[in-house]
């Protein structure tokens, strides 16, 4: 089992293609590419923490989750209404989480923090929301698809990226 992180998929949202300059002709092409890239790295027994902003239409979320490999946890983003949180396919739903992985403390939230619990004891802050446009702070990582090749990313890959 491996653990991955992602955010800001914005499935079905054509506006994100323009706003974030995504290299897709339309929302359908973007969605297919995001699903393919997710499933290329995430296996059936893996775990994915989605740090928010899942999809434009909550009614599409359950069908999307059924197509995506792994056990999926959601941390709500600013574009995730209650219906997205209620969609079948999430193992857990919250606004914030602190987990330990590979001996590291991780603080997970859709939003990047200026400071976070355990920051000065080596804890890492994983976030989305900024679509790769925010200058990172030490021990802070944007796990959104725009910053990571439109794919979920592992902790090892994040740590190796700097």
Q: Structural domain boundaries of the chain?
A: 3-160
Residues 6 or more apart in contact with residue 147 via CB below 8 angstroms: 131, 132
pLDDT recorded at residue 161 = 72
Q: Does pTM surpass 0.85? A: yes
Q: Give the bridge partners for 126, in sequence order.
A: 108, 141
Residue showing tokens 């698809």 = 145
State pLDDT tens for residues 94-132.
999 999 999 999 999 999 999 999 999 999 999 999 998
pLDDT recorded at residue 136 = 80
State pLDDT tens for residues 76-88.
999 999 999 999 9
Residue 162 confidence (pLDDT) above 90? no
pLDDT recorded at residue 75 = 98
Task: Check the CA dihedral 25-26-27-28 and report its sign.
Answer: negative
Q: Token digits for 16?
A: 């994100």
Q: Contact at 8 Å (CB) between 131 and 8? A: yes
Residue 138 confidence (pLDDT) above 70? yes
Residue 73 confidence (pLDDT) above 80? yes
Beta strands in 7-150 (DSSP E): 47-50, 71-75, 90-94, 96-101, 104-109, 124-127, 140-142
CA neighbor of 74 nearest in space, from 59, 57, 56, 89? 89
Architecture of domain 3-160: 4-Layer Sandwich (3.60)
pLDDT recorded at residue 25 = 96
């Amino acid at each position: 089992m491996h653990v991955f992180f992602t955010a800001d998929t914005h499935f079905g949202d054509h506006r994100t293609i323009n706003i974030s300059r995504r290299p897709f002709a339309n929302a359908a092409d973007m969605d297919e590419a995001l699903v393919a890239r997710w499933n290329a790295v995430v296996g059936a027994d893996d775990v994915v923490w989605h740090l928010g902003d899942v999809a434009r239409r909550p009614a599409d979320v359950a069908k999307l989750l059924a197509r995506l490999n792994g056990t999926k946890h959601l941390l709500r983003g600013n574009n995730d209404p209650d219906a997205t949180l209620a969609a079948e396919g999430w193992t857990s739903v919250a606004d914030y989480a602190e987990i330990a992985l590979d001996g590291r403390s991780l603080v997970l939230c859709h939003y990047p923090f200026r400071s976070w619990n355990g920051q000065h004891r080596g804890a890492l802050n994983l976030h989305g929301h900024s679509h790769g446009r925010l200058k990172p702070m030490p021990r802070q990582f944007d796990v959104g698809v725009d910053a990571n090749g439109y794919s979920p990313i592992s902790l090892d890959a994040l740590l190796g990226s700097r």
